[in-house]
Amino acid sequence: MSQSLDIIHDEHRAIAAMLSGMRSLAAGIAAGRLKPDFGLFDDMLRYIEEVPEKVHHPKENEFLFARLLPRCPEAAAVIAELEEEHRQGEARMALVRKAMAAYQQQGAAGFEGFNAALVHYIEQEWKHMNTEEKQIFPLARTHLTAEDWAAIDAAFLANDNPWQGAAGEYAALFTRIVNEAPAPVGLGGS
């Protein structure tokens, strides 16, 4: 069928890994097992800001949703909701950034606010990805034509791997995160 749905699914898995890693780190801090590593959190948040928000979501809007909408008008409401969530991505991430800055300033007293903002963001992203995979993917498989898939696949395959970015920047960032994050999130020390 479509290589682009496989690409989107793989990108979702990479996003999910980053979100799960942040959640695990925050849980470790809450349990007293870990000390906050703001540099690591900053790298993880930057990855989410750069890759999903600036590369992944625009591709979904411009190629998959744009082709599906005329073929499947009943998908209009869910597509509109997903596109609105894409538009709000930077503002939602700004709330997490603001909560992290407060945590850095306030010390332990700021953790609960940061954790709440982070968990809220993560839950919204999980819901968002599940909506795409459980509602949009089946509709796309049913309603898009071979011509649609050829155009969508060409667009997705023509793009450089967004997880590597220009000159491997995102791959280097991902590798740094994995090497710095303590086990079981990454390979770093505790």
Cβ contact 11:59 at 8 Å? no
Q: What is the pLDDT of residues 37-75, one digit of tens each?
A: 999 999 999 988 887 887 788 889 999 999 999 999 999
Q: What is the pLDDT of residues 116-171, one digit of tens each?
A: 999 999 999 999 999 999 999 999 999 999 999 999 988 877 655 544 555 456 66
pLDDT at 67: 96
User: Which alpha helices (H) appear in 31-136, and where do they start and end?
Assistant: 38-51, 57-59, 66-71, 76-106, 111-131
- Type of residue found at 82: L
- Mean pLDDT (the chain, rounded): 87
Question: Distances from the Cα of 7 to the Cαs of 11, 60, 64, 98, 144, in angstroms?
Answer: 6, 11, 12, 32, 17
How buried is residue 56: exposed, middle or buried, by Cβ count under 10 Å (0-12/13-18/19+)?
buried
Burial 160-176 (b: 16+ CB within 10 A, else e): eebbebeeeebeebbeb
Confidence check: pLDDT of 15 > 80: yes
pLDDT at 167: 47
Domain ranges within the chain, ordered by starting residue: 3-180
Q: Determine phi and psi for 163, rounding to 5 degrees.
A: -80, -10
In this prediction the pTM is: 0.85
Confidence check: pLDDT of 188 > 90: no
Task: Name which residue leads in pLDDT, 181 or 30.
Answer: 30
Q: Which CATH superfamily is domain 3-180 in?
A: nmb1532 protein domain like (1.20.120.520)
Question: Distances from the Cα of 21 to the Cαs of 43, 86, 96, in angstroms?
Answer: 12, 22, 15
